[in-house]
Amino acid sequence: MSDPVAALVAAERLPEDYREVVEQFWQPLADRIAREASRQKPLIVGVNGAQGSGKSTLCRFLEVLLKPRGLRVATLSLDDLYRTRAERAEMAEKVHPLFATRGVPGTHDVSMALGLIEDLQAGRSFTLPRFDKSIDDRMAEGETITRPVDVLLFEGWCVGAMPQDQAALTEPLNHLEKEEDRGGVWRGLVNRFLAGDYADLFAQIDLLVMLKVQGFEAVAANRRLQETKLAEANPGAPGLMGETALTRFLDHYERLTRHQLAEMPARADVLFEIGSDQRPLRLPDGLKGMRSIT
């Protein structure tokens, strides 16, 4: 009989010893999700983590681990909800130039996400959108889910984020904010979006999981690695960035990333501290002994 975990480790080009990570950390999380799903279906699991923290990889393993439990699982990435390049260009022209760059709240189609969740909860078929970062635009076709779903894994860099206090927005945080958002209009609007329809979207989450990296410096290193992989997969694509463009791109994410790293750990339902090797440092207390109670 084939081993789906081993197959996924190979498909993801992970070291063979990554199976230990799956057994020690992701299996107990899958057990917790299965227990919650037995009480409420469909269950919406939010997976928060900065760029390169391993959100997508975690969700792929959770799909494999939850299948033997008889649970039907789908994954929705916040990245796939980005507005089209044309829509962001229009927003940049009419609202603020910095909204041309994907990433921050305001650059996602939240109404689409709420509609997907409404269809999910009603047991209707729905189509998950897909976004191609190498061309910086939404793909023409998505993935249609026609069967009922027991667990929706909703992953993204700012999934579950809360707005900052207004006073925290006063001073610019980096070069981008200092030079291109001098009056604080852009960061103020991002914060307002978070307090509005994004709050409605994140309120749908039943279980919030956070993959907490050690700092924003780790985010920058991981994002550079992602860019290298994108270039290898699709060389010459128009959405690829050089070092200068990548630094400016990361400046868009810095404020909210630092805010989440500071405030979210205290309220996440499950908190994984992620080391420099992109692996969990320890098993959260809430998952210890999970197999014995499922």
- Portion of the chain with pLDDT greater than 90, in percent: 78
Give domain status of residue 8, yes or no: no
Q: Rounded to an integer, what distance in angstroms lies between the CA atom of residue 162 and that of residue 288?
A: 28
pLDDT at 292: 44
202-222, pLDDT tens digit by residue? 999 999 999 999 888 888 777
Read off the pLDDT of each residue in 227-241 and give the average, rounded to a whole number.
Answer: 67
Residues in the chain: 294
Number of domains in the chain: 1
- Residue 218 is part of which domain span? 20-77+151-180+187-293
Give domain status of residue 101, yes or no: no
Give domain status of residue 265, yes or no: yes
Give domain status of residue 53, yes or no: yes
Give domain status of residue 27, yes or no: yes
Give domain status of residue 108, yes or no: no
CB 274 within 8 Å of CB 53: yes
pTM to 2 decimal places: 0.91
